[in-house]
Structure 1
């Protein structure tokens, strides 16, 4: 007779039903906002479609689909939506990404990209330090050359680019 081991126990995590209900409620609110704005602009047909006519129709379809998601959330059998281990992996990717987005305004896109590459490759990847640094330098430099110098597309710059005259 064998004793149950830790691997036999079901993995714990976020339950499916609350996640689906929260998502449906968020989508219902978004659909309501679309409808509110559409009818505020005029969603009728006065010799032709008013500004909010087509967005209102899409808003009603969106609202109906959201209500269907909510209804299904209560009908469906509850289970684990995502395990805590899987959620940890998402946070490991999402954390550096949020940091990157937050640093674009104060540091500029290129410096923020270099820092993102360093953090992401260091946290998520298993790369060697020299490949991380090489990638963190070459990718932003290549992007600067392509977008700023070749295509003449200005991207957000920070103090480093200002110090270099860009």
Structure 2
């Protein structure tokens, strides 16, 4: 696949995702709610509109061959690049799956270990410090400060004593 083809493919995929998000956003009110402000679907809808416009702009520029990428016949991703990008993509997919199964905090803990220790080749001290600090900081921000719970999967019962302390 060439850089030119990849640019078009990504723009088309993002345009289709934008349309899907716009459609899904209309399940909630996307207009103004008197006395309350924008409806629950307003921000996702208008952000998706912005993403659609930029995707269509990229497609138009691709057809007009305005950018160096839209004219490039170079290979999009070499084997060396794939060796670097591949583990990152797999790690992110595992993070997403892990979020559903074991919860955000446990998934981020494991993700940090994999990335900091094995891909970043840092010491175990640095690895464990970051792997513990990241979920703790996320918990304090989302659960305590913003009172917005994140998915906990099968680890949720472990959080009950913490909830008793902070609520």
Q: Residues 100 and 112 of structure 1 are in contact (CA less than 8 Å); yes or no, is this contact kept in structure 2?
A: yes
Between 1:81-90 and 1:58-67, the stretch displaced more is 58-67
Q: Does 1:143 align with 2:138?
A: yes
| CA-based RMSD | 3.8
* Aligned-partner SS, 1:80: coil
For the pair shown, the structure with the greater C-alpha radius of gyration is: 1
Contact 1:108 / 1:156 at 8 angstroms: preserved in 2? yes
Partner of 2:102: 107
Which ranges in structure 2 are unaligned for 5 or more consecutive residues?
24-47
- How many residue pairs get matched? 135
Conserved 8 A contact 2:113-2:128: yes
* Between structures 1 and 2, the one with greater helix share: 2
Unaligned 5+ runs, structure 1: 1-13, 38-54
Tell me which of 145, 156, 162 is aligned to 1:161. 156
Partner Cα separation in structure 1 for residue 72 and residue 137 of structure 2: 50
Indicate conservation of the 8 Å contact 2:8/2:59, yes or no.
Answer: no
Question: Residue by residue, what CA displacement relative to the aligned partner does 1:70-129 show, whole Å, maximum 9, x if unpaired?
Answer: 4539x8352233322122211122221111111111111111110110111133201112
Q: How many Å separate the matches in 2 of 1:81 and 1:154?
A: 40
User: TM-score normalised to the size of structure 2?
Assistant: 0.60
Match of 1:66 in 2: 59
